[in-house]
Amino acid sequence: MRHGKKFNHLKRKKGHRKALLRNLSIALIEHKRINTTLAKAKALRQFVEPLITKSKTNSTHSRRVVFSYLQNKHAVTELFGDIASKVADRPGGYTRVIKTGFRQSDGAELALIELVDYNDVYIKDDKTGSGKKRTRRSRRGGGKAAAATTAAASQEEE
């Protein structure tokens, strides 16, 4: 019976599942985005987001706790260095899962999981967004043609 066991077991025993999530999270930290199946991506999101939250407080205890999950020195230093500084002001939701279709061989649903702050497409630039004033266009004909006719009318009056 599986009463109260709500997380996805991924059809693996505990040790195999732990090793899989550890390897996926190390790859995500190093490469900032990875392609995997949708089920593994959702399980990885639950596994890695608390670790990123722990990395916000750079103390010996939190480093040891994260190292006990990852078992990789390079991933821990990357997490506590570059990634922690980028997500310092974000109150959670550090990863994004994007569905990418189905695998040809077995029909498994594939997904791309990435760290949110590392995608340049979704990040708004300060240069283009705040400096320019945006105006709304209406369909009433108040564009260039109307401005030209008012300018011509003012010249005729003079």
Structure tokens at 130: 């705040």
**pLDDT tens sequence across 121-147:** 877 765 555 556 667 777 776 666 666
Strand partners, 111: 36, 99
Q: What is the DSSP letter of 88?
A: T
pTM: 0.76
pLDDT at position 100, please?
Answer: 97
pLDDT at position 127, please?
Answer: 53
Other residues' Cβ atoms within 10 Å of the Cβ of residue 114: 20
Residue 154 has pLDDT above 80, yes or no: no
Q: What are the angstrom distances between the C-alpha of 52 and each of 10, 19, 34, 130?
A: 23, 18, 17, 30
Q: Which CATH architecture has domain 14-124?
A: Alpha-Beta Complex (3.90)
**pLDDT tens sequence across 35-93:** 999 999 999 999 999 999 999 999 999 999 999 999 999 999 999 999 999 999 999 99
85-112 in b/e burial notation, b at 16+ Cβ within 10 A? eebeeeeeebbbeeeeeeeeeeeeebbe
Among the ranges given (11-15, 23-27, 56-60, 144-148), the one the predictor scored with the smallest mean pLDDT = 144-148
